[in-house]
Amino acid sequence: MPQNIRNIAIIAHVDHGKTTLVDAMLKQSGVFRENQVITERVMDSNDLEKERGITILSKNLSIHHGGLKINIVDTPGHADFGGEVERVLKMVDSVLLLVDAFDGPMPQTRFVLKKSLDLGIKPIVVINKIDRPGARPEKVVDMVFDLFCELNATEEQLDFPIVYASAKQGFAKRELDQESADLEPLFQMIAERVAPPEANPDAPLQMLVTSIAYNDYIGRIATGKIFNGRIKAGESVALVQRDGKVIRGRISKLLGYEGLKQVELADAIAGDIVTVAGFDDVGIGETFAAADKPEALPYVAIDEPTLS
């Protein structure tokens, strides 16, 4: 059910604790969702990467918690990839803006935050490292508020929910004077404040490709969000390319995430973010569609990367 999915991205300046937070969330989550069909583990990505010396996977991951599947998609940190940031943000329904309780917001996260605000996303602000000596969480909240104002946030966006956290110690809370021993308040905030994806599982399949990677064993793999319908491993589908050309083929593998591990899935529904193998000509911005209804989703333009 799309109602049980939450798609988010985390915007964080390097060292503000994104890795630590995600690790803590993984540790405090269940590994399996009851109704999920996991046929086999494809391969250990780390081993494979070591063996081949290449990067084959995007850094997306999925966490199952409290009956929800939380997909966390990776955001390119650089302003150099304007179009890419936008495409990633179009898959999510909210972002966690993670800010160090001592350092405050940093200019490097401004670009991605601005894009998020411009797209109408209402961020959840996570003030991290509140255990740090000299932490000044209230001051940092004010700094975040000022930054939102500067970036022309709307009234609604300015009314951002706040979670105070120590990713390192594995706890989060909504009020500074509250006691908390775990990240439950953060999970609850995600459940409450991130809208489930707007997606219709009963419509014909439409999945928008957001990123492409290459895997020596299964070839070109395409990751993106299923906006409508369902997708099954082994099924014949159409690929609508950017020039409108329709290629037909078979989904040779359907992949999802179990934590950080890529796993094979039997099927997936609208709202979810998955990876597909079987199409060697697939490109970013293209649409996988039902074989009998090959219609493209609107294409998100890619800015030319400004290589400096």
Binding-site residue ranges for GTP = 15-20, 128-131
Footprint on this chain of ligand GDP (rule: CB under 6 A):
12, 14-20, 128-129, 131-132, 166-168
Pick 21 or 284: Cβ nearer ligand GDP: 21
Q: CB of 169: closest distance to ligand GDP in angstroms?
A: 6
Residue 231's nearest CA partner among 175, 203, 261, 270 is 270
Pick 77 or 161: Cβ nearer ligand GDP: 77
Find where tokens 């491993």 sit. 233
Q: Which two tokens stand for residue 91?
A: 């898959």
Q: CB of 101: closest distance to ligand GDP in angstroms?
A: 8
CA distance 110 to 122: 15
H or E stretch covering 26: helix 18-27
Pick 94 or 128: Cβ nearer ligand GDP: 128
Q: Count CB neighbours of 146 within 10 A.
A: 12
Q: CB of 176: closest distance to ligand GDP in angstroms?
A: 14
CA distance 254 to 203: 19
Pick 15 or 118: Cβ nearer ligand GDP: 15
Pick 77 or 204: Cβ nearer ligand GDP: 77
Residue numbering of the annotated binding site: 15-20, 128-131
User: Please, what is the Cα angle at 110 between 195 and 143, to 5 degrees?
Assistant: 90
Residue 256's nearest CA partner among 239, 238, 277 is 277
The answer to whether 220 and 276 are in contact (CB under 8 A) is no
